[in-house]
Amino acid sequence: MEQPTIIVQKLKIEEKDDFLLAEKYYSILSVLNDLKLTHRETQLIAFTAIRGNISYKHLREEFCIKYNTSSPTINNMISKLKKMSILIKDKSKVKVNPVIILKFANDIRLDITLSHGQTN
């Protein structure tokens, strides 16, 4: 049986700030893992990853102003994202699961392999 050819595609995306870079990253994770996250949810995850948590009133207010949303909306998203284990409760703080946090001040290079499953 002939082995499939490997296709290499390079993409370079430049974003002007850490928040937009983080939003792109979490959007990619959502698509690849079929999480079906909304744009606002990826914004919340990105914001929380960069700010460290979303527990304090001033952080929630900053998010509401930056993304033109409300506190009840944040609470609904937090509840959903905690059920998905994307956000976790660490003592009294709601944070992004450390498994998916990167330092967004750095450039990021993703190596993604999409492969055909083995059939018997």
Q: Which of 9, 13, 7, 10 is nearest to 25 (CA)?
A: 13
CATH code matching the domain that covers 18-100, chosen among 1.10.10, 1.10.287, 1.10.3470, 3.40.390: 1.10.10
Mean pLDDT of the chain: 91
- The pTM of this model reads 0.87
Angle at which helix 57-67 crosses helix 39-51, to 10 degrees, equals 140
* Tens digits of residue pLDDT in 25-47: 999 999 999 999 999 999 999 99
The residue that leads in pLDDT, 8 or 21, is 21
DSSP per-residue string spanning 4-59: PPP---------SSHHHHHHHHHHHHHHHTT----HHHHHHHHHHHHHS-S-SHHH
> Residues of the chain with pLDDT > 70: what percent?
97
* Tens digits of residue pLDDT in 50-98: 999 999 999 999 999 999 999 999 999 999 999 999 999 999 999 999 9
